[in-house]
Amino acid sequence: MKEFLQAITDIIAVFFGDAPERPRTPQPLPPALPPAAPLPPVADPNEPQDAGEVQASDDPVVVSHEAEDPRVTDGHEFDADPLPPPSEDTSIELNNGDTPGPVNPGPEYRARYMWCIDNGHGSLTAGKRSPVLPDGRQLLEFEFNRDVARRIFDKLDDLGVPYFNVIPEVEVGNLLLERVDRANRLSSALPKLFLSIHGNAGPAPSLQDFTDDSVRGIETWFYHGSTQGRNLAAVFQRQLIARTGFKNRHLRSKVTGQFYVLRATRMPAILTENGFYNNRFDLAAMLTDEFRQAIADAHVAAILEVDREGI
């Protein structure tokens, strides 16, 4: 009877334009979609992509690598004597292109991060080479970067430190977007850190000319405004200077036009510049096994410190 009276009431309400609000069974909302990941900024071919392409007019910000002394400085007070000339045997066993890939940490080592290690540039990158010496020797930056990276990989394999070789290929150019995309897409249960390894070049009239003798040393770049990036860079810069005795050019960043591998990677990222291959003093060292091993050992020591202490 109640249902009959309700039906009559509803019919009358429809005729007089006053339909009652009927209780409705609440419907579950559709599951929310995850937000789309932002696309990396487009790489501008006119922007510098490493320190060798930075012009003096770009006015990079230079900061001491000592956390307790964040003064701005030009770094010229840290001159060091040139290292001995290279030995006669400068043969280098290059990376054959195989990706060592992530490895499981050993029981004696507790990993904190996944290290995405980028040996900047490939054999097809234009320029990026030293003047040819009278004895015919010449440093190719891609080869220097990869040799240092190979030495780092060997140490990390022995220690059981997880890492990812961002560019195992050799017969490639800059692969700029691909390098960033590979690091961003890498699936890892550990937080990721990005490390790009380079040699530097100073201003010179041509590839066959050396830069000024004062333009030399080691510097580490980070994304401007990133506290984690700066902390990470400080550890690497300190280890590199301590183990090489090279001129300290401190931490560097650019307020605008930052390097693509620093601004488009979705993780703290740094870029080390390990000597100037067109400086006659730095080049003599960069051609030796001893210096390359010292650079690799400094990177490994920094990796272990960051894994131990965090950033």
Beta bridge partners of 271: 196, 221
Q: Per residue in 278-291, pLDDT tens?
A: 999 999 999 999 99
Provide the 8-state DSSP code for 171: S
pLDDT above 60: residue 224: yes
Reading the block at residue 82, the tokens are 């040139």
pLDDT tens digits, 181-198? 999 999 999 999 999 999
Q: Is the pLDDT of residue 76 over 80?
A: no
| pLDDT higher at 4 or 264 | 264
- Work out the average pLDDT over 137-154: 95
Q: Which pTM was predicted?
A: 0.73
* 207 confidence band (pLDDT: 50, 70, 90): confident
Residue 76 per-residue DSSP state: G
Most confidently predicted of 26-35, 119-128, 257-266, 289-298: 289-298
pLDDT score for 178: 87
Which DSSP letter does residue 129 get?
A: B
Average pLDDT of every residue of the chain? 77
Residue 256 has pLDDT above 60, yes or no: yes
User: Class assignment of domain 57-309?
Assistant: alpha beta
207 secondary structure, DSSP code: T
